[in-house]
Amino acid sequence: MNKLFCLCLVSFFLSACNNADTDKKNSADITGIDSTIKPGDNFFRYVNGHWYDTAKIADDQAGVGSYSFLNIPQKQLLQNILDSVSKTTNPAGSIDQKVGDFYASGMDTTTINQRGYQPIQPLLTPIDSINDIPAVMKYVAKEMKAGDQSIIGFSISPDNKNSSINIAHVYQAGIGLPDRDYYFKTDSATLRIQQAYKTYIITLFQLTGSDRNTAAKNADIVYGIEKQNAASHKTNIELRDVNANYHKTAVTAMNKTQPNIGWDALLANLGAKTDSIDVAQPAYYDKLNALLKTVSINDWRVYLKASTLEGYADALSKPFVDASFEFSKVLSGQATQKSRRQIMTQNVDALLGQALGQLYVKRYFNEDAKKRVLDLVNNLQKSFENRINHLDWMSDSTKQKAKEKLYAITKKIGYPDKWRDYDKVQIDRTKYFENLQSLNQNNYQFQLAKLNKPVDRTEWGTTPSTVTAYYNPSFNEIVFPAGILQFPYFDFSADDALNYGGIGMVIGHEMTHAFDDQGAQFDKDGNVKNWWTKEDYEKFKAKTKRVVDLYSSFTVLDTMHIKGGLTVGENAADNGGIAIAYDAFKMTAEGKDTTKIGGFTPDQRFCLSIARIWRVKTRDAFLRNYVNTNPHSPAMWRVNGPLMSFAPFYKAFNVQPGDKNYLPEDQRVKIW
């Protein structure tokens, strides 16, 4: 579900120029084109090949480039803020004090290392006294309130069938590897990951006093329980089925069918008063209910210790942090650990994000960008309406509903109108571990306070500084934080072709999510409700099936293909986003012109901008995990994939039959 996306470290070959082809001054030029590659063979490489072959991935990173990796230089701006406020005496209770002192507490590695694993001992000791199933569940609830969810996945968010009210949801949990498939695959890459994970668990037990043999036995116990949990999990593709992952159930019924979990007692220990819960994946909780009885209490003690240690390892002394990194680098391919400044900047952004966001916006955000981008959003909305009006496969009645939903979309740009209140958070700059617990507990209470209350549609699901964008179907909203309103997505000095091919494509992408395989099942108010005629929806599903089939044919590494069923929503949004952005671009004066800039026509520059915003290079290990677990296609196919079905691209770059990425017109993807 798409709820839950400066200065750049790398050169994107953008420079101001005076061009002989035009009288425009200070326009953004595009250089670095690899003319040895035909645009129709591989447009990503045509635009980005020289950069890709020379770009260096830092040892402490898994990749480099734009989109999520643009958060790397973005974090430098946040570090500048944190370095400043942490060295200043700030008024007690102020945002500056809380942000600065939390950062300082995490930077004090001398104290953290001296404390060893002493901070976590009060959490581990009670586990030894657990002697029955209710005690297991009581401990689980206690840790959930501190941010460590082990065997119960719990959240509070809008009811899919009544989006005006927040309800309790539970979802599959209980595993430490990225998803269920990692427990069952037998290829060499996955086996290395499995072994690295077991080694990690062994190391954690050894660091807390167990001998090697005992630690190894404990790791086998933990892995065995997790593998049984994983067997009941739905796959990432199965999780995309909105209705199949919604089961609002009375707590009284859950008590009868899953008595070992003891839902009444669990909810009481969580402080969550409710008479019903959306059980997203019931099979997992049926399995958990059985395992609570068949797994010995001693083995549950071992499991809970491992889960607690894994949850807090990065907050303890260096040996724990090192152990955590040794496992994570097998997944990411990252060679060395991030600096402590990078780690703490990430932690502050995650746990005090809207406090830090206020400081970021004051220092770095250009308010004029908000209005400029809103204009683009409005233009794309008109473009999308026009495309809906001209669809040849959708009936008039469904078109009317689609347009109602389109114009009901809430637009959030830059930063929240209402900032989150952190008044109840207490921060001590000498106690990092305790600060983490305090922040996690505060976040739990913040979420708990929403239970059975009206939904606050002003709330944001990301921090303002993050380079991302998203569509939230329950809110029917599109969100563009300040972080993404910068080069290469958005540039005040650039021509419309670059901005519509950049941030315009992103805007169109997020709008299209309102009508992708998942978003299409939500109405204009954010409720899962059918607004389609039966015939129209069957045609829609047939078109999305074409998206699945096309992207499943793309090879990423060796014999690894994109998972078309996992990425269908994002791929459909990429295809729709480009088409909508292009139509909006053609409404502008430049879009109607043919004047070249830097030797390229407006339509060519529009396509070049699309290729540039996905200029990303990653390590192979990271990419393998990405393909297995991420609903987005890798960067190359976010460029080549949608352009293969984009008629203006064919015309702009004279793509012909025989070119490697040429698709006959009757095989191209066209939904919106």
Domains detected in the chain: 14-77+352-416+460-667 (3.40.390.10), 126-315 (1.10.1380.10)
β-partners of residue 362 are none
Q: What is the DSSP letter of 159?
A: E
The percent of residues above 90 in pLDDT, for the chain, comes to 92
The answer on pLDDT for 493 being more than 90 is no
β-partners of residue 63 are 618
Amino acid in position 48:
N
Q: Do strands 248-250 and 162-171 pair parallel, antiparallel, or not at all (unpaired)?
A: unpaired
Q: Do strands 248-250 and 276-279 pair parallel, antiparallel, or not at all (unpaired)?
A: antiparallel
Average pLDDT, the chain: 94
pLDDT, tens only, 147-158:
999 999 999 999
Closest CA to 446 of 7, 74, 145, 104: 145
Neighbours of 351 (CB within 10 A): 21
Q: What is the DSSP letter of 68?
A: G
Cα–Cα dist 672/398, whole Å: 13
β-partners of residue 375 are none
For 304, residues 6+ apart whose C-beta sits below 8 A from its C-beta are 127, 130, 136, 139, 140, 143, 150
pLDDT, tens only, 530-545:
999 999 999 999 999 9
Rounded mean pLDDT, 259-265: 98
β-partners of residue 617 are 64
pLDDT band at 197 (very low <50, low <70, confident <90, very high): very high
Cα–Cα dist 402/424, whole Å: 43
The answer on pLDDT for 667 being more than 50 is yes
Please give the helix or strand (H or E) that residue 250 lies within, else none: strand 248-250
Q: And the tokens for 194?
A: 């499995």
pLDDT, tens only, 204-222:
999 999 999 999 999 999 9
pLDDT, tens only, 651-663:
999 999 999 999 9
Cα–Cα dist 153/311, whole Å: 14
pLDDT for the residue numbered 492: 86
The answer on pLDDT for 74 being more than 90 is no
pLDDT, tens only, 562-614:
999 999 999 999 999 999 999 999 999 999 999 999 999 999 999 999 999 99
Rounded mean pLDDT, 129-135: 98
CB distance 198 to 190 below 8 Å: no
pLDDT for the residue numbered 70: 85
Q: And the tokens for 100?
A: 């600065």
Helix (H, G, I), strand (E, B) or coil at 489: coil
Rounded mean pLDDT, 69-74: 85
pLDDT, tens only, 10-48:
222 222 233 333 333 334 678 889 999 999 999 999 999
Q: And the tokens for 137?
A: 């569940």
**Exposed / middle / buried, residue 209 (Cβ in 10 Å: 0-12, 13-18, 19+):** exposed
CB distance 299 to 291 below 8 Å: no
**Under the phi-then-psi rule, with left for phi > 0, alpha for psi from -120 to 50, and beta for the rest, what region is 32?**
left
pLDDT band at 68 (very low <50, low <70, confident <90, very high): confident
pLDDT for the residue numbered 12: 26
- Choice between 29 and 437, residue whose per-residue pLDDT is larger: 437
Q: What is the pTM of this model?
A: 0.92
pLDDT for the residue numbered 662: 98
CB distance 485 to 373 below 8 Å: yes
CB distance 249 to 277 below 8 Å: yes
Cis peptide upstream of residue 488 (ω within 30 degrees of 0): yes
The answer on pLDDT for 5 being more than 80 is no
pLDDT, tens only, 443-489:
999 999 999 999 999 999 999 999 999 999 999 999 999 999 998 99
The answer on pLDDT for 1 being more than 90 is no
DSSP per-residue letters across 493-554:
TS-HHHHHHTHHHHHHHHHHHTTSTTGGGB-TTS-B---S-HHHHHHHHHHHHHHHHHHHT-
pLDDT band at 357 (very low <50, low <70, confident <90, very high): very high
Residue with tokens 């406020």: 85
Closest CA to 619 of 72, 64, 62: 62
Q: And the tokens for 190?
A: 């996955």
Angle in degrees, 0-180, between the axes of helices 188-207 and 212-231, rounded to the nearest 10: 130
- Determine the Cα angle at 567 with ends 565 and 569, to 5°: 100
The answer on pLDDT for 376 being more than 90 is yes
- Choice between 260 and 366, residue whose per-residue pLDDT is larger: 260
